[in-house]
Chains A and B, each alone.
Chain A
Amino acid sequence: MSLDYIPETLDSETAEAVNIDRTIGDFTFPERNKFDAGRGLTEKTVDYICDVKNDPQWVREFRHRALKVFRDKPMPTNWATEDLNNIDFDQIRYYLSDGEKPKRSWDDVPADVLETFERLGIPQQERAFLAGVEAQFDSEAAYSNVKEELTKQGVIFVNSTEGLKEHEEIFRPWFGKVIPTGDNKFSALNSAVFSGGSFIYIPKGVKLKQPLQAYFRINSESFGQFERTLIIADEGAEVMYMEGCTAPKFETATLHSAVVELVALKGAKIQYVTVQNWSSNVFNLVTKRGLAMEDAEVRWIDCNIGSRLTMKYPGVVMKGRRARGEVISIALANTGQHQDTGAKMIHAADETTSNVVSKSISVGTGRSTYRGQVHIPKHLKGCKNNTECDALLINSKSRTDTYPAITVKGNQHATQHEASVSQVSQEMLFYMMQRGISEGAAMSLAVNGFINDLVREFPMEYSVELKRLIDLEMEGSVG
C-alpha cells in the first residue's frame, strides 16, 4: 500500500485548487493519493467527492439533490434532544481518504484505548487495525476483499463505490429506495456525501453459512464518516452481516451518519448485527431500514455502547405477506452519553409480524431513551406486534425515557407494548458480596444477567466481546 504521506494542511485552499483544475478539465487523480474535501459542506464539497470517486453523473445529481434536502430540513429538535444543535457542520471534514490519515505508532495510541483492547482480548492483528497503527483506508470499507468461495456462489461483496459503478443494474434500482433522501435530515446528509460502506448481493437461494463482516472506524479528528450500505438478498437467500465499530478518543466532536438499506426479497432472510463502541465525543446519527417482501425476514441485532449521542431506530417495512421484522437492541449509556435508540415497524401487508425487544442500562449520569413506532394500517388483517423494553438504572443520577407510538387501525390485529424500569436490587448485590464478590463485580454480573437473553442472539465472538465491554463500562460505577 502506498503511503506517500504528506503532512497535515490539506484545507479548503487545496480543495479550491482542485476545483479549478477540474473546471479546465485536465485534472486526474492518481490512484492512492490523498484526498481531503476540507472542512464545511458546500456544492463544491459534493463536486469534490464526485470527482475523487469518479461518480457517474446520476450519482452526482443524486448527491446535489440530497444536499439541497439536507439544507432545507430543520433539525428534528421538536422531538429530539437539543444537543443536536451543538454539531458544527462547518467544522466537519466530509471526505478524506488514503494517505491523509496520520500514521501512528503504538506510542501514539491513548493508554485507555490500549487498555480497552487488552481487556476485550482483541487479537493482536485486529488491535493494530483498530488502533490505526497499520496502514488502512479511512472512509472506504477495508474489508472488501471478497473471498473466492463467495465469488463462486455469485455473491457480490464490495464497497459501495464499486457497487454503484460495477453493478449498477442491481445497485441502482434499490439504492435510496428503502430510505429515501428526504427521510430525515441526516439521511439527506449521508446521501450528499456518502463514501465507504458495503454493497452486498446474495443470489437466489444462496444461504451463506458464515457471516460477512466489516469494520468501520473513525480516526481523523473532526472527520465524519458517512458510509452507505446496501444489502440485497435475492429470493430465498440468507445472510448475516456484522458490523463493529470502535473509535479512538479525540477532543472535538465527531459526526458519524450512516445509511443502511436492506432488501430481503421473497423468502429471503437478512440479519444485521452491530456492536458499537464509539468514544464519547461522537455523534452517531444513523438511519437503518429493511424492506421485507413475502415470507422474508429482516432482523436487526444492535448493541450501542459509547458515543456522546446515538440516534438510531432500525426499521422494517413489511411489504409482503407473512413478512417478519425484528429488532433486538441493547444500549448502555455511561456518564455524558445519551443513547436514543428504538425501532420502527411499518406493517404494509397482511399477516405480517414484528417483534421489538430493547434493553437499556444507564450508568452514572447516562441517559438512555427508547423511541418506537408501530404502524398498522386499516386495510390489512392479521398483523401482530410485540414490543418489550426494559431499562436498568445503576446510579441515582441515571436517566431513562421511553416514548413509543403505536397506531392500529381496524380490528384484525394485535399489538402489545410493555416497558419496565428497575434497578439492581440491594438484596441481589448483598447476596453476591456475601460470597466474596466485590460490589463492582457483583454489579457487572447483575447487568450481564439483565441482558443475557439478548446477548445470546449475537454471534459468539461478539457476545464474548460484549460481556467484557459491559464489565469495563460497569467499572467504578458503584461505591
Chain B
Amino acid sequence: MPTAISQPSILTEAPRTSAVFPAWFARTQEAAWTSFQQTAAPKRGDEPWRFSSLKELDFSATTRAEFLGEASELIQRSKGLEQFSAKFVFVNDGFALAINHLPKSVICMPLAEALLSHSELVEQYFMRHPATLGSKKFTDLHTAHLSNGMFIHVPAGVVVEHPIEIFHWVQGQHQATFPHTLIVAGEKAQVRVIETFQSINERDATWTIAVNDLIAEKAANLQYSVVQALNTESKIISVNASEISASAVATSFQLHTGAAWARSESICRLLGEESRSYMFAVSVPSHDQEYDLRTFQHHVSPGAYSDLLYKNSLYDESRTIFSGLIFVDEGAHRTDAYQTCRNLLMSNACEANSMPGLEINADDVKCSHGSTSSQISEEEIFYLRARGIHSDTARQLIARGFSIEVISRLAHEASETYILRMLDEKFATLKS
C-alpha cells in the first residue's frame, strides 16, 4: 500500500484531534499522549506481565489504519443474529453502516457523532478509570489515537428487546485501529450488545487496541459479548471495565478464536449492595496462538456478588495465561465471589499458565477460586467410541461441550447460537 509509507508510526507523532470534536476531548487526547510517552513500557519482572511474551508489544512499524471507501461486501459479510435492535459496521474504525430499530429515547450511534451531539453525556462516562492491570500505557495510546467507536445510552426504565450488534473489520499490513465502545444502561434499563472483531483478509498483520466500558446503573441489566475472530497474523489488546451499581447485573463474555496474540484485561467494580457481575470467557487457541487473559473482580461495596468462569481449550503449540484476582475492599462484608479457570489440554505441546488470586480485606466473606488443567480422560473417549463415534470426533465433541457450558451461561438463545456458530468456525479448522 503506497500511502502507508508516508504515514508516521503511531508512536512517533502526537495524533491530531479532529477540529470538530469538543475541547474536553482534545484535552483528554493530549493528556493521554503525554501520559503514554511518560509511562514506561512493560519489562521483564513486572508482575502484571508475568508469563507474557513482551516481545509481542512492538508497535514501531505500525501506522494508523486508513479508512477504506468501499464497504458493501463487508456489510454483506457482517452476519450476526437473525433479530437485532440495531446493527453497526465499522471498517478500520470508519463508520460504514447503521441499521437502527431502537426506541427513540435510546442513544446508539458512532462515538464520533455522539461527541458532537451528546458531548456532555459522553464526557460524563468516558474513561472514568485508568487501566490497572498492566496496559495503562496502551490505553493511553488508544485514547490519544481514538477517532471512533460506539456510544450506547439506554435511559432509565427502557428495555431493549433484541441485541445491538457491532462489527469491526480490520485490514492493512502493520496498521492499527483503536475502537472504543461505551455502553451505559440507566436505572432499571436492560440491553444486550454483541461486538465482533474480524479481519478482512487472512494476510495482513494488524494491531487493535480496543477499550470497552460498561456502566450499569441502579438495577440495570447489561450484557456485553465480544467475539474476537481476527486472522492469525493480527494482535489485539482489549481492556474492558464495568461499573455496577446497586442491584444491577453486568455480564461480560469473551470468545477468542483468532489473532496471533491477544491480551485481554477485564475489570468489574461492584459499587452497590446486591450488585452482580458475571465474567465469562471461552478461548480456543491453536497453532502458536497466545492468549493472555487478566481479570480483576473488585468488591468495593458490601453485599455484592461476582462470578467468573474462563475456559481454555488448547490445541497444538498454543499458550494461555490466566491471571485473576478477587479483591475485597476493607468493609466490603457479605461479599460472595467466585473465580474458576479451566484448561483443557488438547495437545502435548500446549502450555497453560494459571494465576488465580485472592486479596481479601474484609472478614464476612465467601470467596473461592479454582483452577484446573487436564486432558480429556480415556474413559470419556472410550464411552463415545463404544457408541460408534470416531475418537477424533469424540474429542471434538467433548471440547465443544466444555466450551458450551460457558456460553450457555449467557441465558439468551439467539446470542448463544451466534457465538456457537463463531466457535464452530474455529473447530472446523482444527483436527484433533
Which A residues lie at the B interface, using CB under 8 A?
78-79, 378, 381, 391, 393-423
Contacts and interface: CB of A to CB of B under 8 A. Distances in A.
Contacts of B352: 406-409
Interface in B29-53: 45-47, 50-51
Interface stretch (B13-21, B249-257, B359-367): B359-367
A412 B371 contact: no
Contact of A402 (B343, B365, B369): B369
6 shortest A-B CB distances, which residue pairs? A411-B345, A411-B375, A393-B363, A402-B358, A410-B348, A420-B368
A411 B359 contact: no
Interface in B342-395: 343, 345-375
Nearest to B323: A405
B330 interface: yes
Contacts of A420: 367-368
Contact of A378 (B46, B348, B353, B355): B348
Given A399-B360, A401-B358, A404-B371, A378 B345 contact: no
Nearest to B374: A414
Assign chain B's interface to a size class.
Answer: 35 or more
Contact of A423 (B346, B348, B350, B365): B365
A413 B349 CA distance: 12
B333 interface: yes
A437 B363 CA distance: 23
B363 A396 contact: yes
Contact of B351 (A403, A407, A412): A407
Q: Interface on chain A toward B: helix, strand, loop, or mixed SS?
A: strand
Q: Interface on chain B toward A: helix, strand, loop, or mixed SS?
A: strand
Contacts of A421: 358, 360, 365-368
Nearest to A391: B360
A398 B361 CA distance: 6
Given A396-B333, A416-B371, A405 B353 contact: yes
Contact of B358 (A394, A413, A419, A423): A419
9 contacts: A393-B365, A403-B355, A406-B353, A407-B51, A408-B373, A412-B348, A418-B369, A419-B369, A423-B364
Nearest to A426: B364
A417 B47 contact: no
A146 B343 CA distance: 51
Contact of A413 (B331, B355, B361, B373): B373
Given A404-B371, A406-B373, A417-B370, A411 B346 contact: yes
A393 B359 CA distance: 12
Nearest to B43: A78
Nearest to B338: A420
B355 A405 contact: yes
Nearest to A421: B367
Given A408-B345, A412-B348, A399 B361 contact: yes
Given A396-B362, A400-B360, A410-B348, 15 more contacts: A78-B47, A378-B348, A393-B363, A399-B359, A400-B359, A403-B355, A404-B356, A405-B353, A406-B352, A407-B352, A409-B352, A411-B348, A418-B369, A419-B358, A419-B370
Nearest to A419: B369
A396 B346 CA distance: 44
A408 B346 CA distance: 12
A423 B357 contact: no
B355 A404 contact: yes
B47 A79 contact: yes
Contacts of B47: 78-79
B328 to A, nearest CB: 8
A408 B349 contact: no
Contact of A419 (B333, B356, B364): B356
A398 B370 CA distance: 22
A394 B362 CA distance: 10
Contacts of A78: 45-47
A404 B354 contact: yes
A394 B352 CA distance: 35
Given A405-B354, A413-B373, A378 B349 contact: yes
A263 B51 CA distance: 30
A422 B366 contact: yes
